[in-house]
Amino acid sequence: MEAWVVGVDLGATKIALGLIDAQNRIVARQRVPTAPLEGPAAAVARIAQAVDALKTALPADARLAGLGICSPGPLDHRTGMLLDPPNLTGWIDVPLRQMLVDRLGLPVILEHDAKAAALGEYHYGAGRGERDMVYIVVGTGVGSALILDGRVHRGRNNSAGEVGHITIRATGDVCSCGNVGCVESFTAGPAIARAYRRALAAAGAHRPAESSEAITTENIVGRARGGEPLAVQVLADAGEALGTAVATLAMILDVELYVIGSSVAKAGDLLLEPARQAVAHHAHRSVAARVRIVRSALEDDGPILGCGWLARQRP
Amino acid sequence: MEAWVVGVDLGATKIALGLIDAQNRIVARQRVPTAPLEGPAAAVARIAQAVDALKTALPADARLAGLGICSPGPLDHRTGMLLDPPNLTGWIDVPLRQMLVDRLGLPVILEHDAKAAALGEYHYGAGRGERDMVYIVVGTGVGSALILDGRVHRGRNNSAGEVGHITIRATGDVCSCGNVGCVESFTAGPAIARAYRRALAAAGAHRPAESSEAITTENIVGRARGGEPLAVQVLADAGEALGTAVATLAMILDVELYVIGSSVAKAGDLLLEPARQAVAHHAHRSVAARVRIVRSALEDDGPILGCGWLARQRP
């Protein structure tokens, strides 16, 4: 019998599930709200219901071998516990893996969402055939997962990859972490929106109508695609900071491939081309020549497929 | 018969050799000039002569099992070739390992000097009993070697650890690499001397006598030890930049122990205490709380003992 698995991407607002066949294709999907305020037990019940729905797509010659689930951190992948994820208010020390095992009767593995997305890209997406890869999430925050010699580098306390909070400049807005000059304070979605609002204000009375529309990264990307110089410049500035961080990673780790995912990555080359130029500027020439910065190939499917890969690693 | 080994630290000006017993103690030493302009064959002849001299200290129940040698990079540790080390002018594509094997009839292993020093500290010095460690050389330049999960992380092209050239500020002197804001342009010996000369010039006519003495890191450290505020401040500024780099490494790698070696490290806490404060300032609190920045325990013996360790790894 073929072994199929389920991958689950548990986010702050929604839970996306995929049924994955033996060829690592997502053949059926479910999507349910997380409703974090209702607590983890309610979310587990919703996940179980969605898994039941996915099972109806399972062929007669296949069995469900396991489930991988990823969520925002901090979490402990060894014990399968969510610790105190800021994006899931009130979910403190939740034994999510055990709750799912009890409910589903399946082997379950829990992983951090950026690491799961990285594993998805590494095995099935932009990182196929590579030895090393850094996956960088650029969304509401900036984080990363490091794959070195084919393995996730976790660090002594499982906190490696905090690239959003390395210092690249001596000045700038105070970051959410309290530091000044963090990558995240230049490159994350909220930083881009803030920079755009400032640029609009500096452009002054010429653009009063702009204030009526919500300023989101998506809107800014849309305006930049339409050729609006302010929007193009704001994304270029964010890309410059991202590229400076990639240069630092490349100089320290000597990794060649950087895969950029999550919402801000949807800006594509409006963000990534200035990032590439910044790498050329900040890294040694021989290092910069080998660095490749690409968009996530799997986009939102990355975490689900990464969870599927993890589910297959269980004995 | 006990297996003894020889460790060789080949530098730009001198070659330091140590005979290492089965308990990993250096029991005899030799020191000869490198005289790089005479070429690698002359240096190999001098090394062979020094090894012969060391052999006279070998007890009857011991045999020489191998030799480890380290040198400035770039080099290829797999083939044992020096590529084109800038500090050994004219030594292009030198098959140093094979030359030594032919001359000595011993197994020989070649490693980069910072990596050898790191391995020495890791196995016999400040890193004993640790899983991960970063060794940072702060001398004429700034470099590092990363030991992750007990192994040297080399990177895709053997160039990992270039911490001297990560960008930590948007402004500053142009670095030797052409970039602005590199760690090395704030923290290396020449940067410290430059900053001190500037500070003296800014202090102006009050200190005309200062110009008669050569300004070296050693002198600046001596003056700082004597309580001279300008010298203390210049070393503190260098330490701040070093600490910012350590914060970056800690956030990316989640490594706890940073061992600082080479000439500028001799400033001790005049450099390292400001570095620790910078880590507290630039890294997340939970990360900073676990970071330890210490001086090399083995100092100049680190590379020799690291080479000895490498010599023992050969089959």
Note the pLDDT of residue A296: 97
Q: What are A131's two structure tokens?
A: 């030895």
**Nearest residue to B281 (alpha-carbon basis) of B237, B240, B253:** B240
- pLDDT band at A206, cuts 50/70/90? low
Nearest to B160 among A169, A244, A252 (CB): A252
Contact A159 B254 (CB under 8 A): yes
pLDDT at A86 over 90: no
Closest CA to A132 of B85, B153, B119, B142: B153
What global pTM score does this model have? 0.92
CB contact under 8 A, B156 and A254: yes
Residue A315 predicted with pLDDT over 90: no
* B interface residues, A as partner, C-beta within 8 Å: 131-132, 146, 148, 153-163, 165-171, 177, 179, 181, 244, 247-249, 251-256, 281-284, 286-287, 290
Chain B environment of A156 (Cβ under 8 Å): 131-132, 254-256, 290
Q: Average pLDDT, stretch B108-123?
A: 97
Determine the Cα–Cα distance for residues A228 and A121; give it in Å rounded to an integer. Answer: 32
pLDDT tens digits, B259-315: 999 999 999 999 999 999 999 999 999 999 999 999 999 999 999 999 999 999 965
pLDDT at B89: 87
- Cβ contact A286:B159 at 8 Å: yes
**A152/chain B closest Cα distance in angstroms:** 11
Task: Enter the tokens of residue A94.
Answer: 């939740």
Task: Work out the minimum CA distance from B201 to partner chain A, whole angstroms.
Answer: 25
Cα A60 versus chain centre, distance: 35
CB atoms closer than 10 angstroms to residue A24: 15
Give the model's pLDDT for residue B80: 97
The distance of B64 to chain A (nearest Cα, Å) reads 35
A143, B24, B135, B208, B283 from B259: Cα distances, Å: 27, 20, 5, 38, 18
Length of chain B: 315
* Contact criterion met (CB < 8 Å) for A154 and B254: yes
* The predicted structure's pLDDT at residue A146: 98
Backbone Cα Rg of chain B: 20
Between CA B164 and CA B175 the distance in angstroms is 10
Q: Which of A160, A254, A283 sits opposite B160 (nearest CB)?
A: A254
Kindly determine whether residue A167 and residue B132, on different chains, have CB atoms separated by under 8 Å: no
Min CA distance, B118 vs chain A (Å)? 15
Task: Say yes or no for a CB contact (<8 Å) between B157 and A282.
Answer: no
Q: What is the mean pLDDT of residues B148-176?
A: 93
A255: closest CA of chain B, how far (Å): 6
* Residue in B closest to A153 by C-alpha: B253
Which site among B169, B176, B180, B251 would you substitute to test the A interface, given the most A Cβ atoms closer than 10 Å to its Cβ? Answer: B251
State the amino acid at position A280 in one-letter form. Answer: A
* Contact across the interface for A156 and B254, Cβ inside 8 Å: yes
Distance, CA of A86 to CA of B199 (rounded, Å):
46
Q: Residue A131 is nearest to which of B156, B251, B286, comparing CB atoms?
A: B156
φ/ψ of residue A149, rounded to 5: 50, 40
CB pair distance less than 8 Å for B286 and A159? yes
Question: What pLDDT is stored for residue B212 in this prediction?
Answer: 58
Contacts of B135 (CB under 8 A, 6+ apart): B114, B117, B118, B121, B122, B127, B144, B145, B147, B258, B259, B261, B296
Task: Characterise B254 by phi-psi region: left (phi > 0), alpha (psi -120 to 50), beta (else).
Answer: left
Average pLDDT (A116-134) is 97
> A254, B163: Cβ pair inside 8 Å?
no
Express each pLDDT in B25-76 by its tens digit: 999 999 999 988 999 999 999 999 999 999 999 999 999 999 999 999 899 9
Chain A residues close to B127, C-beta within 8 Å: none
Interface mutation target, options A254, A256, A287, chain B, most CBs of B under 10 Å: A254
Give the span between the Cα atoms of A139 and A125, in whole angstroms: 19
Quote the pLDDT of residue B315: 56
> Which residues from chain B sit within 8 angstroms of residue A290, using beta carbons?
156-157
* pLDDT at residue number B190: 94
| Geometric angle at alpha carbon B43, from B37 and B47, rounded to 5° | 160
Closest chain A residue to the Cα of B282, Cα to Cα: A179
Q: What is the tens place of the pLDDT at every residue in A23-67? A: 999 999 999 999 889 999 999 999 999 999 999 999 999 999 999
Q: What is the mean pLDDT of residues A223-245?
A: 97
Show Cβ contacts of residue A310 under 8 Å, excluding neighbours closer than 6 positions.
Answer: A68, A109, A111, A116, A119
What does the pLDDT read at residue B206?
54
Determine the residue of chain B that is closest to A285 in CA distance: B177
Inter-chain touch A168–B167, beta carbons under 8 Å: yes
What confidence score (pLDDT) does residue B86 get?
85
The reported pLDDT for the residue numbered A208 is: 47
* Closest residue of chain A to B133, computed from CA coordinates: A156
Is A159 close to B253, i.e. CB distance below 8 A? no
Judged on CB neighbours under 10 Å (0-12, 13-18, 19+), B232 is middle
**Ordered DSSP codes for chain B:** -EEEEEEEEE-SSEEEEEEE-TTS-EEEEEEEE--GGG-HHHHHHHHHHHHHHHHTT--TTEEEEEEEEEESSSEETTTTEE---TTSTT--SB-HHHHHHHHH-S-EEEEEHHHHHHHHHHHHSTTTT-S-EEEEEESSSEEEEEEETTEE---TTS-TT-GGG-B--S-SSBPTTS-BSBTHHHHSHHHHHHHHHHHHHHHGGG-GGGGGS---HHHHHHHHHTT-HHHHHHHHHHHHHHHHHHHHHHHHH---EEEEESGGGGGTHHHHHHHHHHHHHHS-HHHHTT-EEEE-SSTTHHHHHHHHHHHHH--
**Average pLDDT score, chain B:** 94
pLDDT at residue B208 in the model = 47
Q: Which is more confidently placed, A79 or B73? A: A79
Give me the pLDDT at residue B85, please. Answer: 87
Q: Please list every residue in chain A whose beta carbon sits closer than 8 Å to the beta carbon of residue B247.
A: 166-167
Q: Once rounded to an integer, what is the mean pLDDT over residues B229-249?
A: 97
Residue B224 has pLDDT above 50, yes or no: yes
Residue-wise pLDDT for A260-276, tens only, equals 999 999 999 999 999 99
**Contact, B82 vs B88, CB < 8 A?**
yes
- Quick one: pLDDT at residue A207? 55
Within 8 A by CB and 6+ apart from A132, the residues are: A147, A148, A149, A253, A255, A256, A257, B155, B156
ipTM (interface pTM): 0.91
Q: Which of A171, A249, A254 sits opposite B252 (nearest CB)?
A: A249
* Domains delineated in chain B: 2-120+300-313 (3.30.420.40), 130-295 (3.30.420.40)
pLDDT of residue B312: 96
Nearest chain B CA: its distance from A104 CA (Å): 35
Average pLDDT taken over every residue of chain A: 94
Spacing of C-alpha A302 from chain mean position: 9
For residue B248, the chain A residue with the least C-alpha distance is: A166
Element (H, E) at A142: strand A142-148
- Measured in degrees and rounded to the nearest 5, phi and psi for residue A123 equal -90, -30
DSSP string covering A260-271, please? EESGGGGGTHHH
Question: A162 and B286: CB-CB below 8 Å?
Answer: no
Query: Do residues A221 and A258 make contact, with C-beta atoms less than 8 angstroms apart?
Result: no
**Closest to B106 measured CA to CA, from B45, B60, B64:** B64
Q: Do A166 and B251 touch (CB under 8 A)?
A: yes
